[in-house]
Amino acid sequence: MFLAVIEVFKGAGVLIYPLGLCSAAAVFIICERAFALRRAAIMPQDLVDAVVNKRPLMGGKHTVLARIVEFAEQHSNDEDAVKAFARLEINRMERGIPYLDVIYAAAPLIGLTGTVAGLLKVFSQISPDTGLPDPVAFTQGVALALSATIIGLCIAVPALVGSGWLQRKVENYAAQLDVLLERILQRSRQ
């Protein structure tokens, strides 16, 4: 099985490099954002409880919610600035996710480039004497065509799923932060 995977990678030719770059970038972005978008890093429960119950705020100093609360306390007379700051924090949570969209669109196109290159290799090696392709060039061309396409699709699908999952996670946090922002603004009005 492992040797078959190695053969697929070899069959992709030079296109394995941009495909490998896409794969590494997708894995990095998904892992980094999954870690950064943990609930404890965005809105720890003790801080949420303090905002909801109008208790003194403690803990979670380096979280998104804590930064919004701190900004709201410093700019209590400017609700528009507080709302803009909250939107900025939500935008920061989305960092890197649009690159996943580029990866899941680009990886299959790179694979398609391999398909075209492989077919070109097959048809350019047809002997004028016999009208048949060179068997070695034929198998290499077909391997390039299929391998690059398979790898491109295998990169695109997890990138698409990861992008959707992370975007949904950010949207969920944004909705919760909107509700908490109203509580924070009520608190600063008093």
Pairwise CA distance, residues 49 & 120, whole Å: 64
Task: Please give the pLDDT value at position 152.
Answer: 93
Sign of torsion, CA 108 109 115 121?
A: negative
CA dihedral of residues 165, 167, 173, 174 (deg, nearest 10): -160
Residue 75 has pLDDT above 80, yes or no: yes
Most confident of 16-25, 58-67, 139-148, 180-189: 16-25
In the structure, what pLDDT confidence band is assigned to residue 89 with cuts at 50, 70 and 90?
Answer: very high
pTM across the whole model? 0.83
**Residues 60 and 66 sit within 8 Å (Cβ to Cβ):** yes
Task: Please give the pLDDT value at position 59.
Answer: 64
Q: Which residues contact 156 (CB under 8 A, 6 or more apart)?
A: 103, 104, 105, 107, 108
